[in-house]
């Protein structure tokens, strides 16, 4: 069985289109989406519509959970906007604009998503989380110590934990038998070349699994220009995140 595991789209329409083209080349049995559909991109309604259509089409073979920025949009308040502007100005101004331009039906959709899900394939127990099993906001980065990753995941009953959130793909095969994979980000990849990354997961009939991070080439400069064109305060800081240094 083949599964495409995607995360952190962040309203990046071009990245989503290119990744879906790549996913179609191996025609997966399932798609798992680990959250952060919206915030700080350029076409929130387009990506929401596309993901909801995909969910409809794939039915039970499409699993989706909520990310921390989905929650920010869903629970947005003047206070949250103020706090976010203070901590991370371009995200705060983006949040303020995004709640205005995103259709209410899509905001309701992300509001009602679960924070975590378990699923089982041929005896393999998989947990889908955004940050870590203990927090939607926790960072499973590359180069953590094994002790730290074990602490972050010890409340999970899964053999395989799939996460996103940091926008940096990585993986840990732990001495307690669990495997943790950060699938990376489609819409705002923090890898050196800024190209969208997702995971191809293959599970055999005995529950043995194989993973491959797939990198998809796309026009990040074009996306950076779309972001800049939104014109809100500090948007240039957001646009710069798409440029490879």
**Residue 171 burial class via C-beta count within 10 angstroms: exposed 0-12, middle 13-18, buried 19 and up:** middle
Closer residue to Fe ion (CB): 33 or 209: 33
Q: Are 212 and 199 in contact (CB under 8 A)?
A: yes
Q: Are 245 and 41 in contact (CB under 8 A)?
A: no
Closer residue to Fe ion (CB): 67 or 133: 67
Judged by CB under 5 A, the stretch of 33-41, 97-105, 204-212, 222-230 that binds Fe ion is: 33-41
- Closest Cα partner for 41 from 105, 106, 134? 106
State which residue has the least CB distance to Fe ion: 36
Judged by CB under 5 A, the stretch of 29-37, 131-139, 173-181, 221-229 that binds Fe ion is: 29-37
Minimum distance, C-beta of residue 187 to Fe ion, in the bound complex (Å): 8
Pick one of 23, 36, 106, 153: the residue that binds Fe ion (CB under 5 A): 36
Judged by CB under 5 A, the stretch of 36-44, 131-139, 175-183, 210-218 that binds Fe ion is: 36-44
Total residues interacting with Fe ion, rule: CB under 5 A: 2
- Closest Cα partner for 2 from 158, 159, 204, 162? 204
Q: Are 52 and 109 in contact (CB under 8 A)?
A: yes
From CA 138, how far away is CA 103, in angstroms rounded?
Answer: 28
What six digits make up the tokens of 220? 């990040």
Judged by CB under 5 A, the stretch of 35-43, 145-153, 217-225, 234-242 that binds Fe ion is: 35-43
Minimum distance, C-beta of residue 27 to Fe ion, in the bound complex (Å): 27
Using DSSP, state whether 62 is helix, strand or coil.
strand
Strands 170-173 and 62-64: unpaired
Minimum distance, C-beta of residue 138 to Fe ion, in the bound complex (Å): 13
Pick one of 4, 8, 90, 96: the residue that binds Fe ion (CB under 5 A): 8
Residue 70 is a binding residue for Fe ion (CB under 5 A)? no
- Closest Cα partner for 8 from 152, 194, 145, 146? 194
Residues in the site for Fe ion, rule: CB under 5 A?
Answer: 8, 36
């Amino acid at each position: 069985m083949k599964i495409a595991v995607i995360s952190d789209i962040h309203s990046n329409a071009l990245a989503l289109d290119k990744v879906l083209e790549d996913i179609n080349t191996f025609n997966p049995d399932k798609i798992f989406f680990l959250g952060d559909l919206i915030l700080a991109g350029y076409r929130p309604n387009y990506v929401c519509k596309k993901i909801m259509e995909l969910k409809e089409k794939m039915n039970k073979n499409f699993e989706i959970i909520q990310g921390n920025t989905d929650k920010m949009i869903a629970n947005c308040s003047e206070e949250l906007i103020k706090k976010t502007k203070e901590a991370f100005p371009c995200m705060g101004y983006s949040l303020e604009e995004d709640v205005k331009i995103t259709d209410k039906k899509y905001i309701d959709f992300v509001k009602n998503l679960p924070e975590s899900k378990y699923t089982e394939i041929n005896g393999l127990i998989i947990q889908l989380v955004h940050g870590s099993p203990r927090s939607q906001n926790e960072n499973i980065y590359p180069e953590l110590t094994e002790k730290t990753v074990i602490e972050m995941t010890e409340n999970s009953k899964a053999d395989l934990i799939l996460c996103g959130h940091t926008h940096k793909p990585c993986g840990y095969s732990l001495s307690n038998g669990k495997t943790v994979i950060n699938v990376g980000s489609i819409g705002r990849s923090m890898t050196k070349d800024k190209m969208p990354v997702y995971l191809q997961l293959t599970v055999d009939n005995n529950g043995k699994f194989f993973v491959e991070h797939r990198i998809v080439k796309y026009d990040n400069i074009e996306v950076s220009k779309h972001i800049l064109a939104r014109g809100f305060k500090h948007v240039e800081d957001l646009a710069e995140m798409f440029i490879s240094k």
